[in-house]
Amino acid sequence: MPESDPHPSSARTWPSELREIIAVFVLSATAILTAWCGFESSKWSGEMSIEFSEASSARIQSLNASNDAREARSIDLTVYAQWIDARATGDEALAGYIEGRFTPAFRVAFDNWERTGEALPSPFAEPSYVPNGQVESEDLATRATTTFDAALHSNQRGDNYALLTVLFALVLFFSAMSSRNRFPWVDWFLLGLAIVIAIIGTIILAHYPVLI
């Protein structure tokens, strides 16, 4: 009578036990990666909100500075019109008095205008004429545009991390299903598919920027 195997159960179950160990490891690692993706997605969403707020604030400040520049230009126009009237009537004393009331920004352009023989239609056409608030308005407008673009990038990064959570959810699904079938080859196939997807997701994750 042939001798029986002293360890029949262990001989039959070690592949399934190995598969279960690998599946547990994949499930645990994927759960951590999924949590990390959720954390990063929320962080980038918060960064996006901050950047959108900063862009909006810079845009409002740019408009205020632009209004200041417009008011300064209006004042310079009014004073210049009075200077033109005084000059037209030949009242040099009044013209000199009015010149003394020019704003610093207009004075620079006026001097350049006279230095070039009044070649341009008026001092306002001089490139050197920069009313108060104009440079600030342009700088703030540039900052608003740059910050708005950064907010869009942050939003996309948050979406990318959110999409990765879906990819890792597939890993969790296939890993869990790898121990629910009667055929070992099906279990191994599902587990292998889960591992491949997990590796792809991890490689993609490694190339994403991190925000702490």
Considering the chain, what is the average pLDDT of its residues? 90
**Are 211 and 47 within 8 A, CB to CB?**
yes
Report the percentage of the chain scoring pLDDT > 90. 75
CB 191 within 8 A of CB 178: yes
Separation in Å, CA 140 to CA 50, 112, 122 = 17, 28, 28
Q: Residue 82 falls within a domain, yes or no? A: yes
Question: At 1, is the pLDDT very low, low, confident or very high (cuts 50, 70, 90)?
Answer: very low
pTM of the model: 0.76
The answer to whether residue 107 is domain-embedded is yes
Predicted confidence (pLDDT) per residue in 19-42, tens digit: 888 989 999 999 999 999 999 999
Total domains, the chain: 1
Residue 119 lies in a domain: yes
Tell me if 1 is assigned to some domain: no
pLDDT in tens, 92-113: 899 999 999 999 999 999 999 9
* Residue 12 domain-assigned (yes or no): no
pLDDT of 7 strictly over 60: no
In which band, very low, low, confident or very high, does the pLDDT at 181 lie, cut at 50, 70 and 90?
low
For residue 199, count other CB atoms closer than 10 A to its CB.
11
Structural domain includes residue 89: yes
**What does the DSSP assignment read for 97-113?**
HHHTT--HHHHHHHHHH
The residue with greater pLDDT, 212 or 47, is: 47
Looking at the domain assignment, is residue 2 inside a domain?
no
Range of the domain at 39: 17-206
Burial degree of 188 (CB within 10 A; 0-12, 13-18, 19+): middle
What is the pLDDT at residue 129?
94
Q: And the tokens for 170?
A: 């597939």
